Amino acid sequence: MPRVSGGSISAHRAEQTRRLFHAFRDLLYERGYDAISLADIAEAAGIARTAMYGYFADKESLLAAYTAMETEEFLATLDAELRAIDSPVDQLRAFVRLQVEYFRDSHLPPGPTLRLLLPEAAATEIIGHIAELESRLHQILRVGREARFFIVDDIDASTSMITACVSRGAAADPGRSTAESVAATLDFIMRALGVRFDAEGNARQLPRR
């Protein structure tokens, strides 16, 4: 029987899964999704190839589990930051910054490709996480409109358009740093929402419409 680390079978499985996720992430960074195999991931994690199948039956299953973990962690980070901010304008800044920073460093396949790679049940789960993320943006826009910081006629349409802007801002661009991408994306979005700032850079309420 293989030696169990961590004091229990469940702790051992959690530790092995963590190692597999870390190996998968590192190989995604180095080679990209299409260029790696389960055998590569098992070797990088220091796990026997045959033992690998006790955790994930194929690369798509590993991708689904890894993506779910990454998305849940990102949502937890986002929610913690948003709870510490009162201004909807500053919440929008945090929302855009965190997403651009994360996706600039992410080496997962792009959204449409990712959904094609995943089994249907896993793809549905990931789409649910994306909907949760968009609900945060929807709430920010609603509060900002009610507080007269944003001009938003259609919150659903604005949510979709801002999401597209963030995706484009997060695209790899060797001529632009992450900070520059965040600034450019935010500048465009703030202008589109009609946000006005005073001389000190603080957002001002808009006249009543």
Structurally, how many domains does the chain consist of?
2
Q: What integer pLDDT is reported at residue 3 of this predicted model? A: 52
Domain coverage including residue 36: 8-57
- CA 134, 137, 141, 143 dihedral sign is positive
> For residue 194, what is the enclosing H or E element?
none
Co-location of 21 and 63 in the same domain = no
Q: Which of 36, 57, 78 is the last residue of a domain?
A: 57
Q: Global pTM? A: 0.78
Looking at the fold, whether 43 and 67 belong to one and the same domain comes out as no
Q: What is the block-wise mean pLDDT of the chain (209 residues), using blocks of 10 residues?
A: 60 91 89 87 92 88 84 90 96 95 70 63 70 91 97 95 88 82 95 94 88
The answer to whether 108 touches 36, Cβ cutoff 8 Å, is no
Rounded Cα gap, residues 167 and 161, in angstroms: 10
For residues 167 and 106, state if they share a domain.
yes
CATH assignment at residue 143: 1.10.357.10
